[in-house]
A and B are shown apart, each in its own frame.
Chain A
Amino acid sequence: MSTLVLDREYFINVFRDMLPFVDKESEHLQQLDSAIGDGDHGINLTIGFREVAKQLDTINENAADISTIFKKVGMLLLGKVGGSSGPLYGSFFMKAGKDVTGKNEVTFDEFCGMLLNGIESIQLRGKAELGDKTMIDAFLPGAEVLKQDSPEDPVEKFTAFVEAMKEGAESTIPLIAKKGRAMRLGERAIGHKDPGAESAWMMMEVFLKRLKEAASA
């Protein structure tokens, strides 16, 4: 059991970091998506998190708890993102907030539980299995790390979580897609990394960066 506690400022800071992050990675994600998707993954995420950035102060002022912050961010992504990643990431954040109603700080273990709830909602929504060449290929190996008792140190554990997701994203390269537009490409999808799996681990890395700060504070 870790003693690290994350307050609402931690989460607000993470959501504030999302726009510069997606801005920076937009072209990279765009390139991956142009190879097998419709080429709009980067720009879709940028538009979604631009709206989040615009409304974040208002959300923070009015939200009663961390749960509400997550729900509001999720709702904005649902409305703005447009592609599959809208309902998927939107559901992810909304469901991640469901067990922390009334809380303005959460333990690291509770935070892991929030992410597991989010991952579960992506599975339910997208109905993708491991090996379908989707963001699930990154999230499921990550979820396995979150469920384990070790490592005990939060930063170590979260680093292992992000690493497992990153490896999961790499594992999509040789796969034939079973979901989305890439499914129609058959073997032509082989050799390309799934853009959703890539953005998934990268987004979790944004959480990791702030987690390192919180742990050393």
Chain B
Amino acid sequence: MANNAQSSVGIVLVSHSQKVTEGLKDLILEMNGDNVNVHSAGGTDDGRLGTSATIIMSKIEELQDCENILVFYDMGSALLSAETAIDLLDEDLQAKCKIVEGPIVEGAFVASVQSTITNDIDAIIEEVSKL
């Protein structure tokens, strides 16, 4: 990897709106630089409002080199789609994934900042849970 401070944590953002996850990804990159691994998985695969388990699945697969992958979601069916996506993955990759309870914007932001200072995934989730 180009940057030796590259985090081993991956973050996947799931919202009904692609604009929400794209905007949040921009925000996270702006605040952390390129050494965080964050993917936007909002909207359906034809860009409508909604969620798509197949998009979420492919975004997680792009992060397969990470040791841990945190999935943040906005509401309702975003959780159903995220769970379905994880079910479809290979077991090794499944084991790396955690769906995190918490507000998607603040939660993913806090997790991304934490991921630049620690690889301790429980500590990162603990920080999010304080929100």
A residues near B, CB below 8 A?
40, 44, 47, 75, 78-84, 86-88, 90-91, 125-126, 180-181
Query: Number of contacts between A and B (CB, 8 Å)?
Result: 61
Q: Are B45 and A87 in contact (CB under 8 A)?
A: no
**Are A90 and B53 also in contact (CB < 8 A) when A83-B77, A181-B76 are?**
yes
Q: Are B50 and A87 in contact (CB under 8 A)?
A: no
In the complex, B83 has a CB within 8 A of chain A: yes
Q: Are B48 and A87 in contact (CB under 8 A)?
A: no
A78 contact set on B, CB distance < 8 A: 52-54, 81, 84
Q: Which of B61-105 contact A (CB under 8 A)?
A: 76-77, 80-81, 83-84, 87
Q: Are A79 and B77 in contact (CB under 8 A)?
A: no
B57 to chain A, nearest CB (A): 9
In the complex, B122 has a CB within 8 A of chain A: no
A75 contact set on B, CB distance < 8 A: 54
A83 contact set on B, CB distance < 8 A: 50, 77
Contact of A87 among B46, B55, B84 (CB under 8 A): B84
B residues near A, CB below 8 A?
16, 44-46, 48-55, 76-77, 80-81, 83-84, 87
B5 to chain A, nearest CB (A): 35
A47 contact set on B, CB distance < 8 A: 46, 48
Contact of B76 among A81, A125, A180 (CB under 8 A): A180
A135 to chain B, nearest CB (A): 12
Q: Are A125 and B83 in contact (CB under 8 A)?
A: yes
Contact of A125 among B50, B51, B55, B80 (CB under 8 A): B80
**Are A87 and B83 also in contact (CB < 8 A) when A80-B44, A82-B49, A181-B76 are?**
yes
Q: Is the interface of A mostly helix, strand, loop or mixed?
A: helix
Q: Are A82 and B53 in contact (CB under 8 A)?
A: no
Contact of B80 among A40, A80, A88, A181 (CB under 8 A): A88
How many angstroms between the C-alpha atoms of A44 and B80 in the bound complex?
Answer: 16
Additional A-B contacts beyond A82-B51, A125-B84 (7; CB < 8 A)? A47-B48, A79-B45, A79-B54, A80-B44, A83-B50, A86-B53, A86-B80
Of A84, A88, A181, which is in contact with the most chain B CB atoms at under 10 Å from its CB?
Answer: A84
Contact of B50 among A44, A91, A181 (CB under 8 A): A44
How many angstroms between the C-alpha atoms of A82 and B53 in the bound complex?
Answer: 9
A196 to chain B, nearest CB (A): 11
How many angstroms between the C-alpha atoms of A86 and B16 in the bound complex?
Answer: 13
How many angstroms between the C-alpha atoms of A163 and B69 in the bound complex?
Answer: 45
Q: Are B44 and A87 in contact (CB under 8 A)?
A: no
Q: Are A84 and B80 in contact (CB under 8 A)?
A: yes
Q: Are B80 and A79 in contact (CB under 8 A)?
A: no
**Are A82 and B76 also in contact (CB < 8 A) when A87-B83, A90-B84, A125-B84 are?**
no
How many angstroms between the C-alpha atoms of A86 and B56 in the bound complex?
Answer: 13
Q: What are 14 residue pairs bridging A and B, where the CB atoms are less than 8 Å apart in the complex? A: A78-B81, A79-B45, A79-B55, A80-B45, A80-B52, A81-B44, A81-B50, A84-B76, A87-B81, A87-B83, A87-B84, A90-B84, A125-B83, A180-B76
**Are A91 and B84 also in contact (CB < 8 A) when A79-B52, A79-B53 are?**
yes
Q: Are A86 and B55 in contact (CB under 8 A)?
A: no
A125 contact set on B, CB distance < 8 A: 80, 83-84
